[in-house]
């Protein structure tokens, strides 16, 4: 069994009739979307969804899920999304898939953000995975310079397959900050980053996870809630 699939199927069991559901982005979230759609088909659940990327929306529609209009959605009951790293304080780095801005907008309006991961994503501290920062394309080189001066770490523009800067679903770009170890001043880092003109959002998520589901190779899962230590 794929651990990501095991975690996602467990997470999908928390979706109930009548709910408004946020759909994440990435390979793990894709399993969740198909698992939710399977329940909708077999149990006749009436739910409406908003996806955090064009790719997830397409997958959801293809599987028959109903996509809601934003002006009719005030809160999400549940959102199921992946993460690149989760620390013992339930902070996360997200955005390996480039959808962090939409993911943060949805997570911030969600009652229960369920994060689905395999065990490799649980980390004693955040920062081995590069921290994605979404920037406005205009003058991004100067935004990069200011980030470099502020943190002194290597910064790489996220590229598309053709080697050009990747353009996100919102027409923005992503800079990856390679701290290569524990993030500096993790509690104030997000606010600090946002003082730089051109920075739109960062992939550090704090206080936005209400439930973690870890999938294992044998198909079992472990569930954790903020405050719980990650023990197996």
Give the neighbor-by-neighbor strand order of the sheet with 48-51.
48-51, 20-23, 76-81, 110-118, 211-215, 221-224
Is residue 120 helix, strand or coil? helix
CA distance 197 to 146: 9
- Token readout for 100 is 């962090």
Assess 25 for contact with ligand A5P (CB under 6 A).
Answer: yes
Stretch that binds ligand A5P, among 59-67, 81-89, 151-159, 165-173 (CB under 6 A): 81-89
> Is 103 part of the annotated catalytic residue set?
yes
48-51 and 204-205 beta bridge pairing: unpaired
Assess 103 for contact with ligand A5P (CB under 6 A).
Answer: yes
Residue tagged active-site, from 9, 103, 113, 201? 103
Q: Which of 3, 22, 24, 130 binds ligand A5P (CB under 6 A)?
A: 24
With beta carbons less than 8 A apart as the criterion, state whether 23 and 60 touch: yes
With beta carbons less than 8 A apart as the criterion, state whether 180 and 63 touch: no
Assess 99 for contact with ligand A5P (CB under 6 A).
Answer: yes
Q: Which of 33, 49, 65, 83 binds ligand A5P (CB under 6 A)?
A: 83
Site string for ligand A5P, 158-177 (x = CB under 6 A): --------------------
CB of 203 to ligand A5P, least distance (A): 7
Instruction: For residue 67, give the DSSP letter.
Output: B
CA distance 132 to 137: 15
Closest CA to 40 of 72, 65, 71: 65
Assess 108 for contact with ligand A5P (CB under 6 A).
Answer: no
Stretch that binds ligand A5P, among 22-30, 39-47, 179-187, 223-231 (CB under 6 A): 22-30
Nearer of residues 84 and 113 to ligand A5P, judged by Cβ: 84
Nearer of residues 25 and 143 to ligand A5P, judged by Cβ: 25
Nearer of residues 95 and 127 to ligand A5P, judged by Cβ: 95
Q: Which of 9, 81, 113, 176 binds ligand A5P (CB under 6 A)?
A: 81
CB of 3 to ligand A5P, least distance (A): 11
For 162-191, the DSSP string reads: TSSBP--TTS-EEEEEE--SSPTTTTTHHH
Q: Which of 29, 36, 202, 209 binds ligand A5P (CB under 6 A)?
A: 29
Q: Which residues are catalytic?
A: 103
């Amino acid at each position: 069994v794929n651990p990501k699939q095991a975690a996602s199927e467990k997470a999908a069991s928390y979706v109930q009739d009548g709910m408004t559901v946020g759909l994440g982005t990435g390979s793990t979230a894709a399993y969740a979307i198909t698992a939710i759609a399977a329940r909708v088909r077999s149990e006749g659940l009436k739910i409406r969804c908003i996806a955090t990327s064009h790719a997830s929306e397409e997958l959801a529609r293809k599987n028959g899920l109903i996509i809601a209009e934003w002006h009719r959605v005030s809160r999400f009951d549940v959102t199921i999304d992946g993460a690149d790293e989760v620390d013992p304080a339930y902070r996360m780095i997200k955005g390996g898939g480039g959808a962090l801005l939409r993911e943060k907008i949805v997570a911030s309006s969600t009652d229960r953000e369920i994060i689905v991961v395999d065990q490799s994503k649980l980390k004693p501290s955040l920062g081995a995975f590069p921290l994605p920062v979404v920037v406005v394309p205009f003058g991004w080189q100067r935004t990069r310079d200011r980030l470099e001066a502020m943190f002194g770490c290597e910064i790489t523009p996220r590229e598309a397959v053709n080697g050009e800067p990747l353009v996100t679903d919102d027409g923005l770009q992503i800079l990856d900050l390679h701290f290569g170890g524990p993030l500096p001043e993790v509690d104030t880092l997000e606010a600090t980053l946002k003082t730089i003109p051109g920075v739109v959002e960062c992939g550090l998520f704090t206080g936005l996870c209400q439930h973690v589901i870890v999938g294992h190779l044998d198909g079992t899962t472990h569930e954790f809630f903020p405050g719980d230590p990650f023990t197996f």
